[in-house]
Chain A
Amino acid sequence: MTAHAAVDAPGGRLKKLLRRQDDQGGAPRLSPLWTFVAWLATLAFFAPVAWMVLTSFHQEADAATNPPTPFAPFTFEQYETLFSRDITPFLLNSAMASVLSTLLVLALAVPTAYALSIKPVEKWTDVMFFFLSTKFLPAIAALLPVYMIVKQVGMLDNVWTLVVLYTAMNLPIAVWMMRSFLAEVPKEILEAAEVDGANLLTVLWRVVAPVAMPGLAATSLICFIFSWNEFMFAVNLTATQASTAPVFLVGFITNEGLFLARLCAAATLVSLPVLIAGFAAQDKLVRGLSLGAVK
């Protein structure tokens, strides 16, 4: 939660993670009993994830036993089958939709955040709340017109359609997050640079970028997470060419009947990028989820 946590080299992150308990030196300690309760609750919450990963490394016969056999022999068979059954195009579509929309979001959000914090326009708070209000509209209500327009212009089953929709979905989050990061750029330095006659690019590169970089990284990770996990538009606007990973998961059940171990392998595989991105961004996660309202 410290401001400089994200500046650390990636290697230092694990150490930081394990050391975090000592960060707030002032926080009181839990008694052994409550420590036990805390860990019990943690493991209860983590159990389904652990079970998913464990089952994904089992044979189908060992996965569907009753009572469960968690210590059955390990195998990579399920993952091998997945890749031979063409999960790859779905993963590529997901990657394309999430990465491209994240880049587009940043391209739109960074200048906007600049115009809302460093050189604020008049009534900049109204602009902020306009962006935020669009986030509160239920996507399902837009599905019908979006579907009809997309169909009309022949963009059904096209990854670019998802790129545009995911950009609109994440833009308010990115604007709010980036503004809160850019607001941390020290005003005195900006003014000093201007007095010294530094041009805009120099100011951006020398003064703004160093402060904003960790924020930019966190913002892109959060946009990536939301786009990667999106299902409603993906399942209704794609058919065969542009389907993303969540659509694969659902179709996989209906097409092949139930293979529990393979399902768990697929679920683990498609969740992996987000788990990694989320763990990497966990210091900033709450800032993104609360649209920058909570640090």
Chain B
Amino acid sequence: MTTLTVEPKTAPPPVRPRTRTGTAKWKRRIPLLPALIFTVVVTQLPFVATLVISTFQWNILEPGDRHFTGLSNYSFVFTDERLRTAVLNTVVLTASVVLISVVLGLGLAMLLDRRFAGRGLARTLLIAPFLVMPVASALLWKHAIYNPDYGLLNGTLNAVYQFFGAAHGPTVDWVSSYPMPAVVISLVWQWTPFMMLILLAGLQAQPGDVLEAAKVDGASPLATFRFITLPHLRQYLELGILLGTIYVVQTFDAVYTITQGGPGSETTNLPYEIYLTMFRKYEYGEAAAAGVVVVLGSIVIATFALRTIASLFREEVSR
């Protein structure tokens, strides 16, 4: 169920296909067996277990009361108010983080595609947010930037207000007043470099002669962007959006650290809700059913992602 087999219509392997004997085939397969077995055992078996657990009424606090309940955990998952909120929050969080980072990443990539003084250094500085440990970055945003009393945001506002003669700047409690934007901004900061790197690679793979020809023909920069660069970038945009979505859907660190899903359940996304169901409510069956739902959702996105990767891969292999 967890194996997403798409048919990658790749060109035949670069080696001439010839009829091989059974032993020769197995000799070739031996080097990949350890990795294959390891992957099946560590990544596929737990999901089978999840599927099984999801059909049980199983709360660790009531050890005597563990029994098969069929699909009732699923009907709970689909009707539970909290879980529905969590699904909605996951969609809002993921969509806003991915779309904003793609737009910002595209802007930065287009700037970095040109030559300017210190371009290499600028690129190095720009990838730093992606490399800072996600938990560290979440704590940094929460305490050093959003803190109402001495965070950088209110501190800077205060400094500006005082510079213009006011007694004190506004004191905004960013995380409590705007919980979702607070989480989104910290994640956008973290994911923009990722998008920028993928789109920059796309821009630099653009054939120079086409751009040259467009220039000679007198196309405006806007038209060149719209009709040449954007279509060329399409598969890189898709790749960035899909990979970004797959990673951001799984966001746990930022929610755990910045808001703990609150206030109320305003920023509780699915991974955090599953974590709460497991380790706070101890409802194993429900947690497993919610997990299966997340997997199914991911499979939908992943199918598109795999298709995009397969098309990029096909180009590479046939090159």
Contact = CB atoms under 8 A, between A and B. Distances in A.
Contacts of A29: 114-116
Interface of B: 2-6, 8, 10, 13-15, 25, 28-32, 34-36, 38-39, 42-47, 49-50, 53, 107-108, 111-137, 139-141, 143-145, 147, 149-150, 152, 154-156, 158-159, 162, 189, 192-194, 197-198, 200-202, 204-205, 208, 236, 239, 243, 246, 249-250, 252-253, 256-257, 270-271, 274-275, 278-279, 284, 287-288, 291-292, 294-295, 298-299, 301-302, 305-306, 308-310, 312-313, 316
Contacts of A128: 8, 313
B198 A39 contact: no
Nearest to A131: B39
6 contacts: A30-B115, A64-B149, A142-B47, A175-B35, A275-B131, A293-B316
Given A22-B115, A68-B152, A129 B132 contact: no
Interface in A237-267: 245-246, 249-250, 253, 258, 260, 263-264, 266-267
Given A29-B116, A294-B312, A115 B131 contact: no
A120 interface: yes
B150 A294 contact: no
A278 B6 contact: no
A143 B287 CA distance: 10
A180 B316 contact: yes
A38 B120 CA distance: 12
A125 interface: yes
A137 B132 contact: no
A49 interface: yes
Interface of A: 1, 16-22, 24, 26-30, 34-35, 37-39, 41-43, 45-46, 48-49, 51-52, 55, 63-68, 108-109, 111-112, 114-116, 119-122, 124-134, 136-149, 164-165, 167-168, 171-172, 175, 180, 187, 225, 228-229, 231-232, 235-236, 245-246, 249-250, 253, 258, 260, 263-264, 266-268, 270-271, 274-275, 277-279, 282, 285-286, 289-291, 293-295
A172 B278 CA distance: 28
A7 to B, nearest CB: 18
Q: Of residues B144, B201, B204, which shows the largest number of chain A Cβ atoms within 10 Å of its Cβ?
A: B144
B306 A129 contact: yes
A138 B129 CA distance: 23
Contacts of B310: 129
B42 A30 contact: no
Contacts of B127: 278-279, 282, 285
Contact of B38 (A18, A22, A24, A171): A171
Contacts of B236: 294
Given A45-B189, A64-B150, A140-B250, A263 B143 contact: yes
A138 B295 contact: yes
Name A's interface SS: helix
B31 to A, nearest CB: 4
A273 B107 CA distance: 29
Contacts of B256: 231, 235, 250
A137 B2 CA distance: 8
A123 to B, nearest CB: 9
A41 B111 contact: yes
A236 B295 CA distance: 20
Contacts of A30: 111, 114-116
Contacts of B35: 108-109, 111-112, 131, 171, 175
Contacts of B150: 63-66, 68, 260
A104 B8 CA distance: 29
A51 B316 CA distance: 42
B73 to A, nearest CB: 12
Given A271-B131, A294-B312, A295-B201, A144 B284 contact: yes
Contact of A66 (B116, B144, B158): B158
B123 A282 contact: yes
A168 B291 CA distance: 19
B278 A143 contact: yes
A21 B107 CA distance: 18
Contacts of A165: 42
Contacts of B14: 120, 187
Given A18-B120, A143-B275, A271-B132, A112 B31 contact: yes
A249 B13 CA distance: 48
A66 B112 contact: no
Contacts of A258: 143
Find the residue from B43, B147, B236 having the highest chain A CB count within 10 A: B43
Given A20-B119, A121-B25, A282-B123, A140 B294 contact: yes
A188 B242 CA distance: 37
Most A C-beta atoms less than 10 A away, residue of B10, B116, B122: B116
